[in-house]
Amino acid sequence: MQANGSAITRRHFLQSAAAGVALAGIGAPAFVRGAAPLAHQPLPYAEGALAPVIGAQTVGIHWGRHHKFYVDNLNKLVIGTPFEGQPLDKIVMGTAGKADQQALFNNAGQIWNHDFYWQSLKPGGGGKPPAKLAKKIDEAFGNFDEFRKQFAAMTVSQFGSGWGWLVADGAGKLKVVKTANAEVPMTQGLKPLVTIDVWEHAYYLDYQNKRADYVNALIDKLLNWEFAEKNLG
Amino acid sequence: MFTLMALPYANDALAPIITPNTISFHHGKHHKTYVDNLNNLVKGTEFEGQSLEAIVTATAGKADKAPLFNNAAQIWNHDFYWNSLKPNGGGVPAGKVADAINASFGSFDEFKKQMATTTVGQFGSGWGWLVADAAGKLKVVKTGNAEVPMTQGLKPLLTIDVWEHAYYLDYQNKRADYVNAVIDKLLNWDFAAKNLG
Ligand SMILES: [Fe+2]
Ligand SMILES: [Fe+2]
């Protein structure tokens, strides 16, 4: 009993430590000085799971280097600032639009966007959304095909690095928008439902200059509509 | 009608720093798309028949002219980029450019360091530049997306494209490796001297 209880406690502690994040300062002497670093969120599927729409090499580099680079940068940049130890969304919203916080915002925004992007996709995704979301889409765009057309056109038209989004506005109406570089829809009072990364690194090894082919394939075959419906709330 | 500028060298002439595969997409697809887009966009507008420079200048900073500016400026930037590179380029410049670099940066190594850092530090799509300001002093600057230094009163001498399409097939996420290799082995210092005037 004693041994068993102790083992559970110990396992629980190890799991918390492995999760790596919010509580690591408690009972973890190595982190006592500063707050725990922000985590590089694991991929919700294997690197090859999105192939052939997005190749395993693209996912490996995109998640393992680009996404990780932003996490490593931010963990260095926050040290000694008021943002040290704050959750990611607080850093994003606290630095947005502030010229003197640009480096913090760019890295925090890109971590947030990439976390959201990986969850916006799933193997065997795409197709038609579940009933509640489908109704909202029909209300806002007339029908699913019209939504699909507008979402693709908006996303493809982002000039330079950025993101395409399906969002809900303050009144709950769905819209498609685009944001540049690390910008997020929340700063415009919009609630993101799903996103598509159109930085060239997201598709260049697989599609080169053919951004439209990447965007259309992703909408048709990878969008995670359950994630979108969950975000609708 | 605008035409796609011919490359000033064969498309494998910059290998292995920039491979023919990259150049075939970069020149043959990206650069060409901007030319095709601009030709379509100017049709029936006041800009039809105007020079590329005139369109860039007239549309810069105007939100309602963004598609015209983006395509015109990207043609201008790419024309300038291909001319900024040459096979067996790089090295240390001589003459007037060398004097201006030493006077402005202290040394060629200091220039190289600043050019690499500024160019690599462009967040997202854009360009790194060696420019001369109105007083003739050389500086390194970066611009986002299609932006050009002329709108800030700066005279461009050389540029490095850091849109990811410029290096992704060859270097993937390692932008710094691409930028350093271009500076060391491809920069066309004769072109810079001509631009310095
Ligand atoms: Fe990305
Ligand atoms: Fe380019």
HSE-CB of B4 using CA atoms within 13 angstroms? 14
Scanning B107-146 for CB atoms below 8 A from A yields: 123-126, 144-146
Q: B26 or A17: whose pLDDT is higher? A: B26
Confidence of residue A35 (pLDDT cuts 50, 70, 90): low
Out of A30-44, A179-193, B85-99, least confident range:
A30-44
User: Using the beta-carbon criterion (under 8 Å), do B172 and A209 form an inter-chain contact?
Assistant: no
Distance B142 CA to ligand 1 centre (A): 21
**Sign of the dihedral through C-alpha B151, B77, B169, A55:** positive
| Structure confidence at residue A28 (pLDDT) | 37
Q: By the CB < 8 Å criterion, does B36 face chain A? A: no
- Residue A105 is assigned to a structural domain of this protein: yes
In tens, the pLDDT along A110-121 reads: 999 999 999 999
- Interface test mutation site (partner A, options B145, B162, B174, max chain A beta carbons within 10 A): B145
* For helices B175-185 and B108-120, angle between their N-to-C axes, nearest 10 degrees: 150
CB contact under 8 A, A159 and B123: no
The pLDDT of A16-29, averaged and rounded, is 36
Is residue A32 scored above 80 in pLDDT?
Answer: no
Instruction: State which H helix or E strand residue B118 sits in.
Output: helix B108-120
pLDDT at residue A23, rounded to an integer: 37
Q: Is A94 in the same domain as A167?
A: no
Query: Torsion angle, CA of B59/B63/B69/B73, rounded to 10 degrees?
Result: 100
Ligand nearest to the CA of A109: 1
Domain locations in chain B?
Answer: 20-84, 95-196
Q: Is-contact A59 A47, C-beta < 8 A?
A: yes
Searching chain A, which residue's CA lies closest to the CA of residue B32?
A209
What local confidence, expressed as pLDDT, does residue A14 receive?
Answer: 32
Residue A180 buriedness (CB in 10 A; 0-12 / 13-18 / 19+): middle
Within a domain: A5:
no
pLDDT band at A36 (very low <50, low <70, confident <90, very high): confident
Residue B194 has pLDDT above 90, yes or no: yes
Measured CB to CB, residues of chain A less than 8 Å from chain B are 61, 65-66, 69, 102, 106, 159-162, 180-182, 199-201, 204-205, 208-209
Answer whether B146 sits within 8 Å of A159, measured CB to CB: yes
State residue A19's pLDDT score: 37
Letter for the amino acid at A197?
D
Chain A contact for B24 (CB, 8 A cutoff): no
Q: Looking at residues B74-100, what average pLDDT do you find?
A: 97
pLDDT confidence tier of residue B97, bands split at 50, 70 and 90: very high
Indicate if A146 and A111 belong to the same structural domain. no
Q: Does B109 have pLDDT greater than 70? A: yes
Question: Does the beta carbon of B43 lie under 8 angstroms from any beta carbon of chain A?
Answer: no
| Nearest partner of A177 among A199, A157, A201, judged by Cα | A157
Which ligand minimizes its atom distance to the CA of B75?
2
Q: Rounded CA gap, A149 and A124, in Å?
A: 20
- Other beta carbons within 10 angstroms of residue B6's beta carbon come to 8
CB A175 within 8 A of CB A140: yes
Distance of CA B182 to the CA centre of its chain: 12
Q: How far is B44 from chain A (nearest CA, A)?
A: 22
Does A86 map to a domain? yes
Quick one: A123 exposed, middle or buried, by C-beta within 10 A (0-12, 13-18, 19+)? middle
In angstroms, the separation between the Cα of residue B54 and the nearest Cα of chain A is 22
Task: Take residue A198 and report the two structure tokens written for it.
Answer: 């159109």
Q: Which residue has the tokens 């001297």?
A: B193
Q: Which CATH number fits domain B20-84: 1.10.287.990, 3.40.630.10, 1.10.287.3510, 3.30.70.20?
A: 1.10.287.990
pLDDT average, residue stretch A131-138: 97
Asked which of A98, A120, A142 is the last residue of a domain, the reply is A120
d(CA A166, CA A192): 6
Indicate if the pLDDT at residue B111 is higher than 70.
yes
Write down the pLDDT at residue A7.
Answer: 33
Q: What is the CA radius of gyration of chain A?
A: 19
User: Is A9 a domain residue?
Assistant: no
One domain for residues A137 and A80: no
Residue A229 has pLDDT above 50, yes or no: yes
Architecture of domain B95-196: 3-Layer(bab) Sandwich (3.55)
- For residues A193 and A111, membership in a common domain is answered with no
Q: State mean pLDDT over B101-122.
A: 98
Longest dimension (CA), chain B: 51
Mean pLDDT, chain A, integer: 88
- For chain A, give the percent of residues with pLDDT over 90: 84
CATH number at residue A30: 1.10.287.990
CATH number of the domain at A213, please: 3.55.40.20
pLDDT of residue A22: 36
Residue whose entry in the numeric block shows the structure tokens 């887009």: B37
Average confidence (pLDDT) over A97-122: 98
Q: How confident is the model at residue A11 (pLDDT cuts 50, 70, 90)?
A: very low
- Selected residue of B123, B161, B167 to mutate for chain A interface (largest A Cβ count, 10 A): B123
Range of the domain at A39: 16-47+54-120
Asked whether residue A73 falls in the same domain as residue A139, the answer is no
When pLDDT is averaged across residues B138-161 and rounded to a whole number, the result is 98
**ipTM summary value:** 0.96
Tokens 């390692």 -> residue: B174
Nearest chain B alpha carbon to A159? B145
pLDDT of residue B150: 97
Confidence of residue A64 (pLDDT cuts 50, 70, 90): very high
How would you class A50 by CB atoms within 10 Å of its CB: exposed for 0-12, middle for 13-18, buried for 19 or more?
buried
- Asked if A88 and A147 sit in the same domain, the reply is no
Please tell me which residue of chain B has the smallest CA distance to A107: B123
Mean pLDDT of chain B, nearest integer? 97
- 3-state secondary structure (DSSP) of residue B86: coil
Lowest-confidence region among A31-35, A84-88, A133-137: A31-35
Distance from C-alpha of A92 to C-alpha of A72, rounded to nearest angstrom: 16
One domain for residues A155 and A106:
no
A44-62: per-residue pLDDT in tens?
A: 999 999 999 999 999 999 9
Q: Total domain count for chain A?
A: 2
